[in-house]
Structure 1
Amino acid sequence: MSENKQNLTTSWGAPVGDNQNSMTAGDRGPTLIQDVYLLEKLAHFNRERIPERVVHAKGAGAHGVFEVTNDMSQYTKAKVFNGVGKSTDMFIRFSTVAGELGSSDTVRDPRGFAVKFYTEEGNYDLVGNNTPVFFIRDAIKFPDFIHTQKRDPQTHLKNPTAVWDFWSLSPESLHQVTILMSDRGIPATLRHMHGFGSHTFKWVNEEGKTSWVKYHFKTDQGVKNLDVKVAEELAGSNPDYHTEDLFNAIDKGDFPSWTLYVQIMPEEDANTYRFDPFDVTKVWSQKDYPLIEVGKMTLNRNPENYFAEVEQATFSPGTFVPGIEPSPDKMLQGRLFAYADAHRYRVGANHNALPINRPKTEAKNYFRDGAMRFDGNGGSSVYYEPNSFDGPTEKAEAKTTPFNVTGQAAQTSYDHHDHYTQAGDLYRLLSEEERSRLVANIVGAMKPVAKEEIKLRQIQHFYKADPEYGTKVAEGLGLPVPQELVK
């Protein structure tokens, strides 16, 4: 027997005498309630699963490093992006959106692309997707949208009628729907897809000058997508295909990387740009605002423990550092609350103290107590502010920069906005073969829809984006294009 054998202990550190047999009254039992180790073992097992994420439940993660290749100090004072050669540790979590924790990796779904930078000024989270836009532009619609992606409350089955009913009644979704139903809807691997911050954010430099910014992570492996039939086969034969591929690539030293670019819009341009720059269903033309290289992200280390590092990782688009701030983007504004609140519910009030979420800099504040407070809980230090005992105080330089707010306080509709131009432009950019696959994917997804009026309403949106687009979908479904559109 090895001299280095470790003693098994209880969770309170006492040695375990027997881990194979419970304490019973005689050989046949019954089991005695005084077997406290048995009770502890079973009770802990019952609690080994925290609630899964409402969205982005299925995910894979990895550690890495971000290195600046182009100094951004003229635009932002955020140290993570300043100084060529500057290196910052980071962690990323990729995910599917709609499926449960055990769902397949190769379904048609957007992919979450959440990056946590462990900077010397605190953590910075960039919580985006593998698409530059989203289905909706206002967070008040998010619960309803996600309900359509989940299971029907009666049948507990996925419901295509609900999906297309919502999209057909939300024409702002057309741009994202077109991306989702195209080849890009099923990436070949997590390594072969781009990532985006999606929202518009504000950058502030040392002089207080502000700019609007969008983030683009371009995969250095090249974009590759899965054939629909291959994806379906993998969903049955290896539902963890993407998770496995990422782990194995890093494990053998084939470290995937992405080059980060940004688009920079001068603050004043937001008032005159031809699209609302804070509308997450729209992109900015790269002819108007070219991509500027920032740096390279390389994933070089797998998690040692999935639960501790991937499942307990918490990301929020409101986790900022000085020099990076939110924009008026309505979807972003809702996410600033919703994400952190989801983590407080799912993981606990002290989720940011867990090793995977803990900042490299020491957190100094007056937050106390709460479930699972496993550090010193502030010790005997002063626990309120302001105080006369030299407790931590605010830093004026870290204040959010002011910006002008105008207009009535009202619930403003986007009905008058253009939902179709960018979706049509995207359709026309696709090759003939890509358009054919896009239409085939849409037709296949819409055939199970129960009500014909939903199909016809959605066909109108496709037609308004591009007449060929709408006509081909209509033909595939054996339906006419509404006559008022073709006159």
Structure 2
Amino acid sequence: MQWLVVLVCLAIANNAYGVRYLNVTLDAVQRQLHEFKVTHPKPIGVLTTTAGKPVEVRETVTLNTDVFNNQHFWDLQTASEHERIPERTVHARGTGAFGYFEVTNDVSKYTKADVFNGIGKRTPVAVRFSYLIQSRGGVDMVRETGALTSKFYTTEGNLDFLSLSFPVFLYNSPHLFSPVGHAFKRNPKTHIFDDTSRLDSVTLTPEFIHQILWLFSDYGIFNGYRHMNAFPIHAYELVNKHGDSYFVRFNFIAEQGLELLTERAAGALRANDPDYSTRDLYDAIAAGNYPSWRLDMDIIPKSHIPKLNYNPFDMTALWRNGTYHTVTIGRLVLDRNPENNFKDVEQTAFNPGNLVPGIPGPVDDAFKVRRFSYRDAQAYRLGINHNNIEVNQPKYRKTYNRDGVPPVLDNMKDAPNYYQNSFNGPVPYVDVAKPKELVSVKFKQSTDLGESAYFYNAYVNTEGKRNRLAANIAGVMVNAVEEVQMRWLKILYLIDRDLGARVEAALPVAEAQKLLQRPRLVLVEENPKTYDLVPRCQ
């Protein structure tokens, strides 16, 4: 304690005599306020009210003043009561960055989309990273689906990709979004994440199983956002300038390398820094170590689709080797941190329905529902004019929409507000290459566990991987009621007898570990004394 008092006194003395001290242990996150002061050696201006009136120094206090006439005080009071907007239902916890996408290969054979044509072309991009289930105040480094959502500000409108950390999705049926969201969130009575409800939901809807195996495997925890691959999940239709169609699956591959962590390693990082993924991304960009992702696309010509012996539109399944080829499009590089997190990240509004000419998009039912539900979610969170917010604004826009909750920008000034009109309002264009045939996709009702079996045998292909997968599954199963445990084991045995046997053997170990890890209340002293907690300089 004595040496701490000495250091505090020295720090006070150094500051008093103008001695500059640089703490080399601080990272870019912790230096942010100091760097602002270095950049702005003098106050950045005169304090005003939100209406622009200069604030007199006596208005910054309220004791013994006329508080009801103090507009600066009421600005502060009312703003603090209204400064929160609705939290995202899913992917609430996240961060973001800005950068660019650069085309590195000629893909004009597959799409006429301007953003992907012209080697060397750069397009500004905004990116948000997130965890699926965590609330806005949650923690990083958990076993959850991650996300990389990107907004390309192209000359033909905004192009949004909503990508996940696994190449397969939970389900194909759109109606499952609400039930699975409720099952995986907090129990409505206990307000605690409930493994019984989660596992019950999965066992009653076996199409979830494939992605759940990815989640419990070594792929389940990535080493921060920079070391995560990301996949937009759907099969996207592309069209070239001749009207030829292709179906592709996009893949964002981290050029830093995919890095995966064990449960123990992630737990240690999480305990030391609950903001690990957020801090790691910010510090890397601040240091000029710009993270990047290679954008590839797996391609199947439209004419080959009827010849396949599997459904390429099934989001719960991988495409079969030998039925597609892969082409690189370019690189996504992040080189700028947000200036203000709320303005630049929390207000971003992504919608998978934001597409551009040359990318008609996916044709499955889940995508059709998502393009509506995401629009509705953003209108709820940010208002119907969410695309007028700076971070969401496209490069060019002419619409017949008017009014509503601000921002309305120029509100299209004095242009006609209806279409069709005879007075030279904006007119649509004709896309001669737009596909003339609509693709109709039908899904079977039964669940094929073959995809899960393939994943187990092709990806979880070593003793270590299989033991860790079994231990991770068992670690969650011990928190569920016996009925759900038994149903889980039956499904795991159906996927692969070896998987079922390993999990069954891991259950007693997980139960023993759970008993050992129960927290015990330990007092520092039986009769704690009262101490003077404020050190004095002697």
TM-score past 0.5 threshold: yes
Please state if 1:172 is matched with 2:172. no
Give 3-state SS (helix, strand or coil) of 1:326's partner.
Answer: coil
Deviations 1:11-57 (A, max 9, x none): 11111124754557xx3x7x643333322221111111111110000
CA distance in 2, matches of 1:185, 1:5: 46
Query: What is the percent sequence identity of the aligned residues?
Result: 37
Deviations 1:239-296 (A, max 9, x none): 1100000000010011111111101111133333222111110111243212211111
TM-score, structure 1 as length reference:
0.91
- CA 1:261–1:21 in structure 2 vs 1: closer, same or farther (change >3 Å)? closer
Q: Partner residue of 2:45?
A: 6
- CA 1:432–1:23 in structure 2 vs 1: closer, same or farther (change >3 Å)? closer
The within-5 A match list for 1:233-272 is 233-272=268-307
1:132 Cα offset (Å): 0.8
Q: Which amino acid aligns with 1:8?
A: L
Q: How many residues align?
A: 467
The within-5 A match list for 1:275-314 is 275-314=310-349
Q: Where do 5+ consecutive residues of structure 2 fail to align?
A: 1-40, 510-538
Residues 76, 205 of structure 1: 8 Å contact kept: yes
Paired residue for 2:471, among 440, 462, 466?
440
CA distance in 1, matches of 2:307, 2:483: 38
Deviations 1:211-261 (A, max 9, x none): 111001111111111221121233233111000000000100111111111
Residues 280, 331 of structure 1: 8 Å contact kept: no
Paired residue for 1:63, among 94, 98, 114?
98
- CA 1:330–1:478 in structure 2 vs 1: closer, same or farther (change >3 Å)? farther
- CA 1:406–1:175 in structure 2 vs 1: closer, same or farther (change >3 Å)? closer
Q: Partner residue of 1:455?
A: 485
The within-5 A match list for 1:41-440 is 41-360=76-395, 362-397=396-431, 401-404=435-438, 414-418=444-448, 420-429=449-458, 430=460, 431-440=462-471
Q: Where do 5+ consecutive residues of structure 1 fail to align?
A: 480-487
Residues 219, 259 of structure 1: 8 Å contact kept: yes
Q: Partner residue of 1:484?
A: none
Give 3-state SS (helix, strand or coil) of 2:68's partner.
Answer: coil
1:417 Cα offset (Å): 4.3
Deviations 1:403-439 (A, max 9, x none): 34569xxxx8733342x22211111122221111111
Q: Partner residue of 2:500?
A: 470
1:477 Cα offset (Å): 2.6
CA distance in 1, matches of 2:161, 2:435: 20
CA distance in 1, matches of 2:343, 2:488: 43
RMSD: 2.0
CA distance in 1, matches of 2:44, 2:158: 39
Q: Partner residue of 1:482?
A: none
Residues 275, 282 of structure 1: 8 Å contact kept: no
- CA 1:23–1:436 in structure 2 vs 1: closer, same or farther (change >3 Å)? closer
CA distance in 1, matches of 2:489, 2:363: 32
- CA 1:4–1:469 in structure 2 vs 1: closer, same or farther (change >3 Å)? closer
CA distance in 2, matches of 1:250, 1:5: 25
- CA 1:305–1:64 in structure 2 vs 1: closer, same or farther (change >3 Å)? same
- CA 1:454–1:138 in structure 2 vs 1: closer, same or farther (change >3 Å)? same
- CA 1:402–1:462 in structure 2 vs 1: closer, same or farther (change >3 Å)? farther
Give 3-state SS (helix, strand or coil) of 1:472's partner.
Answer: helix
CA distance in 1, matches of 2:366, 2:488: 23
CA distance in 1, matches of 2:338, 2:436: 40
Q: Partner residue of 2:22?
A: none
Q: Which amino acid aligns with 1:376?
A: D
CA distance in 1, matches of 2:257, 2:60: 55
1:190 Cα offset (Å): 0.9
Q: Partner residue of 2:515?
A: none
- CA 1:454–1:71 in structure 2 vs 1: closer, same or farther (change >3 Å)? same
- CA 1:81–1:124 in structure 2 vs 1: closer, same or farther (change >3 Å)? same
- Structure showing greater radius of gyration is 2
Q: Partner residue of 2:532?
A: none
Residues 8, 15 of structure 1: 8 Å contact kept: yes
Residues 103, 330 of structure 2: 8 Å contact kept: yes
Give 3-state SS (helix, strand or coil) of 1:195's partner.
Answer: coil
Residues 241, 433 of structure 2: 8 Å contact kept: no
1:3 Cα offset (Å): 8.2
Between 1:76-85 and 1:326-335, the stretch displaced more is 326-335
TM-score, structure 2 as length reference:
0.83
- CA 1:183–1:5 in structure 2 vs 1: closer, same or farther (change >3 Å)? closer
Deviations 1:152-192 (A, max 9, x none): 01000000001000100111111101110011111011111
Q: Which amino acid aligns with 2:476?
A: A
CA distance in 1, matches of 2:346, 2:170: 26
1:8 Cα offset (Å): 1.1
Q: Which amino acid aligns with 1:106?
A: M
